[in-house]
Structure 1
Amino acid sequence: MRVFRIMPNLPVADIEAAKSFYTDFLGLTNEDFNLGWVARYTSPDGQAIVQLVTRDASAPVDSAVSVHTSDVEAAYEDAQRRGYEIVKPLATEAWGVRRFFVRAPDGTVLNIAQHAD
């Protein structure tokens, strides 16, 4: 799998309540998107990224990190071939991301994603 971005998914109770810490204090001034249950904030140069998550809208569990790849289909097949637990099957989400969740051998759940565009 070719990975081009990995970002933490931080659990928060309320995105709006948490937002000012990450934007004002840490300086992550760009709100890349906000779906109400997940929002991504980045630094002006795009080098620092964090996602705040209250509860994943379409998965049975929350993921610890999001891993962006250029070929999610191949990553899904590889994860299955290796016998890793698929927590959420491969699907295209309403917000334009094709993704699946896989559990690493240490128990960490990862969101493996590819933007549809």
Structure 2
Amino acid sequence: MAAPIVPRGAPGPSQFAVSTAMQKENPMLHVDDVDALYEEFVRRGALIKQAPADKPHGMREFSVTTPDGHRLMIGQDLASRAGS
């Protein structure tokens, strides 16, 4: 069964789409503005594991730990970031 997709483009940095190619251990959320969402997570006291960084595979990513201990990767396609 494919992962649910949340429409992108809605106002606010909290809107995201779940990758249909999620890894079991580290799900990846694709967002429109990774840096804005990171700042929102920091303001809300999220457990940040890795600050945003550009990766060789063409994504800008950061990771957080959920309250139940799971790691969640959040990223933005660098090509879409350059076009904004």
RMSD over equivalenced CA pairs, Å: 1.4
TM alignment of 1:33-72, pairs within 5 A: 63-72=25-34
TM alignment of 1:1-117, pairs within 5 A: 1-7=14-20, 8-10=22-24, 63-117=25-79
For residue 5 of structure 2, what is the aligned residue in structure 1? Answer: none
For 1:80 and 1:87, the matched residues in 2 are separated by 11
For residue 6 of structure 2, what is the aligned residue in structure 1? Answer: none
For 1:6 and 1:75, the matched residues in 2 are separated by 17
Give yes or no for contact 1:99–1:114 (8 Å, CA) kept in 2.
yes
For residue 8 of structure 2, what is the aligned residue in structure 1? Answer: none
CA deviation after TM superposition for structure 1 residue 106, in Å: 1.4
Q: 5+ unaligned residues in a row in structure 1: which ranges? A: 11-62
User: TM-score, length-normalised on structure 1?
Assistant: 0.51
Structure 2 residue identity aligned to 1:81: R
Helix, strand or coil at the partner of 2:38: helix
Q: Structure 1 runs of 4+ off > 6 angstroms?
A: none
Q: 5+ unaligned residues in a row in structure 2: which ranges? A: 1-13, 80-84
Larger radius of gyration: 1
Question: Taking structure 1 as reference, are residues 6 and 95 closer, same or farther at Cα in structure 2, changes over 3 Å only?
Answer: closer
User: TM-score, length-normalised on structure 2?
Assistant: 0.70
Give 1 or 2: higher strand fraction. Answer: 1
Helix, strand or coil at the partner of 2:23: strand
CA deviation after TM superposition for structure 1 residue 4, in Å: 1.9
